[in-house]
Amino acid sequence: MADLIIRNGTVVDGTGAPRRQADIAIDGDRIVAVGDVSAHEPAVREIDASGTIVTPGWVDIHTHYDGQVTWDPDLAPSSINGVTSIVMGNCGVGFAPARPDKHDWLIRLLEGVEDIPGTALAEGMTWGWESFDEYLDVLDQLEWTVDVGAQVPHAALRTYVMGERGADHQSVATPEEIEEMCRLTESALRNGALGFTTSRTWAHRTSTGESIGTLKATADEVVGVAQALNRAGTGVIQLISDAYQSSDDELVARELELLGRIVTEVGRPMSFTVQQNDETPQRWRELVSRIEAWSAQGADVRAQVAVRPIGVLLGLSATANPLRRCPTYARLHDLPVAERVAHLSDPAVRADIIAEHREVRVRDFPALIHGAFDRMYPLSDPPNYEPTPDDSVAGLAAAEGVEPIEKMYDLMLAEDGQQLLYMPLMNYAHGNLDDVREMILSEHSMFGLSDAGAHCNVISDGTFPTTAITHWTRDRDRGEQIDLEYIVHQQTQRTAAHVGWHDRGVIGPGYLADLNVIDHDRLALKPPRLVDDLPAGGTRLMQPAEGYVATIKRGRVVAEEGRLTGERPGRLQRGTHSAPTLVR
């Protein structure tokens, strides 16, 4: 007798193979049969999957739940968007190792780099560890809706070893300090860490504005610490560098030289962020070309790419707000949203703010948020992540014969002040997703960059896996779509295998029973909305989906029709996991 049988579904098994009709039998936490399940009948429970597709659970290898895992067993929105396994500790930031006197500094770091409310972290974090090994031991006692894996973050490690100097991006680590960081990383890897991560981007700063300590870490330091992977014989390297967005050719050359050293001197699987920005829209091709060259030499290197634009959300309830620099609005900003809407609806207040907005002069990124009306798009239901110029605030204003500031102002008051405007920052240089499609289809790319758990009040990209299915396999009408089998493979077996999890991401006998039953025709994201469910009343964007009939983790249904069931079979995953030996 099986614990669960899924009948009559169209199986997209995660390997890239053509879809097929098949039943699936599950016993305990494993799949025991696909196709003929008669040997396992009857079952304790059956799910009729007629008219649906059945896929492996999504494996998201780029999240930032490092603090949230200590207090939140649900880990939404990942868990309500079909994700069954996550990897955290990306981009060199996390909460271990951590000396007791560095807790506040680490909170400021994550608050700044990943826009996670510091008050929520301060109240919600349990701590109870110092070393990374102890952090894993604490996590080992917890249960979640998803499986969790952790990587060693360079910024926390550097400050643990170097003290105050480690937080200074101008400080150079001594050979002794590099060796100590390597020793601690090796110990963490032997105790179950999945890899080592670092950050080399100017965009990563603490909440008080200091650059991340690893920004200018020498090549000798990065390669020296990464040698821990060779010593332990396991682990992956993940990093973010300004190479993908910088117009400074010399900086890019230095960064690529560092990556080349990692490839040749460390030789472990590596992935790094590859996106497209407006200033250097072809730079991503240069990076992919370099990955191709390394791969031709036998290296295992992947471009971590996104499936839609990386975009910020603007609105009265969001952190980013186009009216913030107007003096009249600034005086209202701390009022509750409902009260602000009441004041902003006053014609006199409206006239004052619109007049002030025309006079404000700002530069760089604030200028985009303030007045790039051709890049602001009202977020629809379901959200459109490949909008046209006519969909923009500027386009809508032109169609109505009004000024863009007037249209933007009125949109911000819609839905009682809850309407959000979407502003693509990366991957939208040409106003469409043709280049993103090319990134996705590269044999050297891998889905990542969801940043689930981070950017709580300004970005809602933890729902990337749902967009990958809805937009690319069904809804795209501004260019070619992509086969469902390919997209499913990219966020199941491919991501799982990269971090050494060969026991999941495939629907086959012996694999973990991590599955999604999806109504493909009905699958849709809802617009993100701010909720105040973090500790200390902290807010975050939450984006549910419709059409996930059931999400199954280790044989247990953890979500049905977008609602969590209360089942929490997810556990800490230490190290790599072998592929199943069971063959039927």
In this predicted structure, the answer to whether residue 459 has a pLDDT above a threshold of 70 is yes
In this predicted structure, the answer to whether residue 325 has a pLDDT above a threshold of 90 is yes
| 136-152 confidence digits (pLDDT tens) | 999 999 999 999 999 99
Percent over 90 (pLDDT), the chain: 96
Q: Residue 581 — pLDDT band, cuts 50, 70, 90?
A: confident
Instruction: Look at residue 365 in the predicted model and tell me its pLDDT.
Output: 78
Instruction: Look at residue 582 in the predicted model and tell me its pLDDT.
Output: 57
Taking the alpha carbons of 58, 62, 66, 68 in that order, is the dihedral positive or negative? negative
Q: In whole angstroms, what separates CA 76 from the centre of its chain?
A: 12
In this predicted structure, the answer to whether residue 24 has a pLDDT above a threshold of 90 is yes
Lowest mean pLDDT among 20-24, 219-223, 315-319, 559-563: 315-319
State the pairing for strand pair 270-273/529-531: unpaired
- Rounded-to-integer distance, Cα 65 and Cα 406, Å: 39
Percent over 70 (pLDDT), the chain: 99
Instruction: Look at residue 14 in the predicted model and tell me its pLDDT.
Output: 98
Q: Residue 366 — pLDDT band, cuts 50, 70, 90?
A: confident
Place of tokens 């046209």: 388
- Rounded-to-integer distance, Cα 94 and Cα 66, Å: 6
Q: Residue 584 — pLDDT band, cuts 50, 70, 90?
A: very low
Of 13, 3, 67, 48, give the one whose Cα is nearest residue 508.
Answer: 13
Q: In whole angstroms, what separates CA 553 from the centre of its chain?
A: 20
Q: Residue 319 — pLDDT band, cuts 50, 70, 90?
A: confident
What does the mean pLDDT of the chain come to? Answer: 96
Domains annotated for the chain, with CATH where assigned, are 2-56+510-564 (2.30.40.10), 59-309+428-498 (3.20.20.140), 313-425 (no CATH)
| 151-185 confidence digits (pLDDT tens) | 999 999 999 999 999 999 999 999 999 999 999 99
For the chain, how far is it from start to end, CA to CA, in angstroms?
17
In this predicted structure, the answer to whether residue 290 has a pLDDT above a threshold of 80 is yes
Instruction: Look at residue 361 in the predicted model and tell me its pLDDT.
Output: 87
Do the Cβ atoms of 477 and 483 come closer than 8 Å? no
- Rounded-to-integer distance, Cα 155 and Cα 106, Å: 9
Q: Residue 583 — pLDDT band, cuts 50, 70, 90?
A: very low
- Rounded-to-integer distance, Cα 39 and Cα 131, Å: 48
What's the mean pLDDT in 353-377?
Answer: 91
What's the mean pLDDT in 333-351?
Answer: 96
- Rounded-to-integer distance, Cα 419 and Cα 282, Å: 34
- Rounded-to-integer distance, Cα 202 and Cα 210, Å: 10
For residue 83, count other CB atoms closer than 10 A to its CB: 31
Q: Residue 115 — pLDDT band, cuts 50, 70, 90?
A: confident
In this predicted structure, the answer to whether residue 300 has a pLDDT above a threshold of 50 is yes
In this predicted structure, the answer to whether residue 97 has a pLDDT above a threshold of 50 is yes
| 79-95 confidence digits (pLDDT tens) | 999 999 999 999 999 99
- Rounded-to-integer distance, Cα 566 and Cα 564, Å: 6
Of 3, 1, 10, give the one whose Cα is nearest residue 521.
Answer: 10
What's the mean pLDDT in 346-365?
Answer: 92
Of 146, 206, 88, give the one whose Cα is nearest residue 554.
Answer: 146
